[in-house]
Amino acid sequence: MLPRQLFKTFFNLLIICLLLLNSSCTKPNFYEKKFLVYGTILEFKFFETPKNIADEAMANIIAQLNELNSIFHPWQNTVIKKFNNNQIANICDDRQIQIIYRASHYEKVTNGFFNPAIGALIEAWGFHTDEIVEKTPDDALIDKIINSRPSLKQLNLNQGCLEKVNHFLQIDLGGMIKGYALDLAKDEYQKLNIKNVLTNFGGNIYAHGQPENRFWEVAIQDPYDQTQLLAKLKLPPGSAIGTSGNYEKYFMHNGKRYSHLINPTNGSAFSNHSSATVFISPQDEVGVKSDVFSKPFYFSSDLKQTQLDMNFNNFFVTDLNRNIYITESMLEKIEWVFEEGKYFVQGI
């Protein structure tokens, strides 16, 4: 039997296959392939692309992701693991520094709701392992980490190398790495002049081109039952969607669900929201934004204020009482497919 998380991922990929507009995944002009990367399914679906060109693109993308994994995996024997565990360690590689600086940019854009410096909190909650440890951390430890206010702003550049000034600062780029992978894929498609491909990395989806001049159509899972659908959405060329939810990696304790998504402001693994989905129109770093921008809304206690703070309008959120809060612009793009009465939709 498949593990629960992989079953959910495979089901999600099946849904995308079923929803291709007026197309079949078995048609000869479609070529698809799946890989297990970072413990998550990465799927490519090419349309009218020569197999050798598609294979070259996928090989190049996978090679880049494997290189990133060897550097940034937070609990394996990597550069970032050594940096996190050693107060006097530094990072001197230009590309690694550039990626961390981009992460720092998005920490600022999201007002700290996306915070790649809270690896110590994620570890304290037991999510820095291949198998989930079902425990709640010591409150005193959480308080110490939170009171140190870990942030990538606590990195200093000294003679071309990054050094940290807070020993509780631990870098974990898990909140943007899938989106970063989509941007790498986008660059590869442009280099190889690939016209039409849908890329899905664990629910972060990038639409490159449009098959037969029709938009790709994808589904959004029901956060309370991943074998069911919540909504459908058409993706224009160059756009992306991303969802953060409490149903992929979590444990239950005293009737509460604690997920790997840790609120940087209070150190809690609990949220009153079950999921947050964002749509990103065609633009630079569309993949990273599809990954990062869902976090503020997932954690937010005031969605309207967060919307204003980020100047971002294309999102919806589901809460633990089965309410869906959605912006007017996002509502125009969504087709609801859930059973009548299961959710209550209201505007923001």
Running DSSP on this structure, what letter comes out for residue 137?
Answer: P
> Using an 8 Å Cβ cutoff, are 279 and 233 in contact?
yes
Of 60, 63, 64, 34, nearest in space to 46 by CA: 34
The residues pairing with 47 across neighbouring beta strands, listed in sequence order, are: 30
Report d(CA 261, CA 283) in Å as an integer. Answer: 26
Of 169, 177, 175, nearest in space to 118 by CA: 169
**Strand locations in 71-215, DSSP E?**
155-158, 161-164, 197-201, 204-208
Report d(CA 179, CA 181) in Å as an integer. Answer: 5
Dihedral pair phi/psi, residue 173, rounded to 5°: -95, 15
On whether 175 is known to bind a ligand per the annotation, the reply is yes
On whether 291 is known to bind a ligand per the annotation, the reply is yes
Of 241, 298, 287, nearest in space to 264 by CA: 298
Instruction: Name the token pair of 268.
Output: 């809690």
Q: How far is CA 20 from CA 54, 196, 259, in A?
A: 19, 13, 31
Q: How far is CA 70 from CA 17, 66, 87, 102, 287, in A?
A: 31, 6, 21, 19, 21
Binding-site entries for Mg(2+): 175, 291
Binding-site entries: 175, 291
